Amino acid sequence: EAGVAQSPRYKIIEKRQSVAFWCNPISGHATLYWYQQILGQGPKLLIQFQNNGVVDDSQLPKDRFSAERLKGVDSTLKIQPAKLEDSAVYLCASSLYYEQYFGPGTRLTVT
């Protein structure tokens, strides 16, 4: 079974620029998550989708971050404009029930 796919794997941008990340979950997984993992910390949930509806986006900085999951499969996370403190690994995960399976992540560096 193929795992969670993410792209790009690495991205370097300047502050105030925009960036987008893509995620393809495990086939059949209705729930998709975006987490932010700052160096040396555990992942922090940004947003959770159930099919194409948002379940939890309480920790998403909505003034600069947006996410969508069209057709209930792939998802994109966008940051516009980026700040230095957005430098982190952005992890996508998916689940069928409780168990969440993570992709390899996108390492974002904002200079």
Partner 1 sequence: QQQVKQSPQSLIVQKGGISIINCAYENTAFDYFPWYQQFPGKGPALLIAIRPDVSEKKEGRFTISFNKSAKQFSLHIMDSQPGDSATYFCAARGGGATNKLIFGTGTLLAVQP
User: Which residues are near partner 1 by CB under 8 A?
Assistant: 4, 31, 33, 40-45, 48, 55-56, 91, 93, 95, 98-105
- Residue 32 and residue 23: Cα distance in Å, rounded? 9
- Residue 27 and residue 108: Cα distance in Å, rounded? 26
**Closer of 43 and 86 to partner 1 (Cβ):** 43
Q: Which among 39, 40, 45 is positioned nearest to 100, based on CA atoms?
A: 45
Minimum Å gap between C-beta 105 and partner 1 is 5
Minimum Å gap between C-beta 91 and partner 1 is 5
**Closer of 82 and 94 to partner 1 (Cβ):** 94
